[in-house]
Structure 1
Amino acid sequence: MEKRTPVFFFTPFVSSTMRVEAAWIDYNGHMNMAYYHVLFDRALDEGFSLLGLGQEYVEERKASFFTAEIHTLYKRELTLRDQVRVTLQLVDYDEKRMHYYMEIRHAAEGWVAASMEGLSLHVDMETRKVSPFPEDIAANLAVMRAAHARLAKPEASGRIIGIPDQPDKPEALLASGTRH
């Protein structure tokens, strides 16, 4: 079934307002890390449904998208009843993959609580194998990517996890031949 290409996409896409739920608060008195991903996932569903990749796509066309990799940075605590909105920027895509960047922002004050970079794969649900996007979905991706190309590349995109080298660490001193 051929879908019509949307005329435009918001840059970036901004989700509906969501509220931190009581069950998500852990013994530290803030939202547990797992629920940041619930918010990211809900917003991703909202944003990618505009591309035609919603529940109907799975039911009618027997295809979907699966998350292959994510990298999350937690920047600020969220607490009970905080309201947030999630932004989504399509960074890149190819015939089978989507690379995107998201931020959870406090809805009233605008500060960033967390960011997430992700890579999702288009999957044929009957074979459970990665497969190319249909032409109409690829066209929608092209429109979204063109709209989002005007945005700056996210600073946190492509980060590598690790502890930076510090000159006073024993390992760094040994490597440089310096002794105390």
Structure 2
Amino acid sequence: MIETYRGVVYPHQEDHMGHMNVAWYTSKFDEATWHLLAHIGITPSYVREGNKGMAALEITNNYLAEVTAGDLLVVRSEITEVKDKTIRFRHTMFDAISDKPVATMQAVGVHMDRKIRKSCPFPEDVKESCKKLFPEPA
């Protein structure tokens, strides 16, 4: 796992129930995703200069514990599968103080040619970088 996000829950991110709204979990996981993608070679310059990119195909969130304003969060990520055009990855959000998991997100993303708006194979170096982030065997 690699660290892909570190931040805090702000009061404006709470909902009327007094805990962080699901929209903010999504936002923080989205930021973690872009750091994860950059780590494997899908950097902002790769996207701009190569006219390639990524799109989400499937996302599943699990909420394990409430977080509230002032809580410090960290997200650690791993890639669980890489295919010719898709990756499956998992983010785990932790309370940064207790290291207790508070939420997870699992996603499948597809590599795209942005010009023709169709899926396309990952470059080999990206696939190799993905494999380095597979979970360690238990």
TM bucket, shorter chain: over 0.9
Correspondence 1:116 to 2:105: yes
Equivalent residue of 1:39, what SS? helix
Equivalenced residues, count: 138
Go from structure 1 to structure 2 and tell me whether the alpha carbon gap of 1:40 and 1:129 turns closer, same or farther (over 3 Å shift): same
Shift of 1:142: 2.9
CA distance, structure 2, for counterparts of residue 56 and residue 21 of structure 1: 31
CA distance, structure 2, for counterparts of residue 33 and residue 151 of structure 1: 31
Per the alignment, residue 47 of structure 1 pairs with 36
In structure 2, list runs of 5 or more residues that go unmatched: none
Shift of 1:138: 2.0
Equivalent residue of 1:100, what SS? strand
Please report the TM-score for the alignment, with normalisation by the length of structure 2: 0.93
Q: CA RMSD in A?
A: 1.3
Per the alignment, residue 60 of structure 2 pairs with 71
Shift of 1:45: 1.1
Correspondence 1:102 to 2:91: yes
Per the alignment, residue 23 of structure 2 pairs with 34
Larger radius of gyration: 1
CA distance, structure 2, for counterparts of residue 65 and residue 25 of structure 1: 29
Shift of 1:151: 4.2
Instruction: Report % sequence identity.
Output: 26
Of 45, 66, 72, the residue aligned with 1:56 is 45
Per the alignment, residue 123 of structure 2 pairs with 134
Q: Which has the higher strand share?
A: 2
Question: Which letter maps to 2:111?
Answer: H
Shift of 1:105: 0.2
